[in-house]
Amino acid sequence: MSKHLTANAAEIAILQKNLKDLKAKLETAHEKILELTKNNNTATEELQKERQLLLELEAEYNTKQVETSDLIEKQIEDWPDVLDSRPKKKIKYKDIQPGEWD
């Protein structure tokens, strides 16, 4: 019977050691989970900031695009309908021949 008790005591000691190892692993796992959760929260916050910045930049881009388009249209409207590349010659009254007024 003492052999049986000794074997049981040895088995109990092994189980206790295994239990301590499992507790240590569980503790380490909890610490890693907390760290990953913190990293996830930080990453989520950074992502939200990046999205907000993207929305702001898109709005600014759209505003600038509209302003640019308006300025281009205004410039085009200000251009004369017909451009004459010849230098303008001042017409003197004495140079006009009869019948040129028609």
Tell me: the pLDDT tens digits for 39-92?
999 999 999 999 999 999 999 999 999 999 999 999 888 877 666 666 666 655
Q: Is residue 94 pLDDT above 70, yes or no?
A: no
Within-domain flag for 18 = yes
Number of domains in the chain: 1
pLDDT attached to residue 5: 76
Q: Which domain holds residue 42?
A: 2-76
pLDDT recorded at residue 88: 64
Compute how many other C-beta atoms are within 10 angstroms of the C-beta atom of residue 37.
Answer: 10
Look at residue 99 and tell me if it is in a domain: no
* 102 falls within a domain: no
Give a yes or no: residue 14 inside a domain: yes
Is 0.85 surpassed by the pTM of this model? no
Indicate left, alpha or beta for 42 from its phi (over 0: left) and psi (-120 to 50: alpha). Answer: alpha
Angle at 72 between CA 69 and CA 78, to 5 degrees: 140
93 occurs within a structural domain: no
pLDDT of residue 51: 96
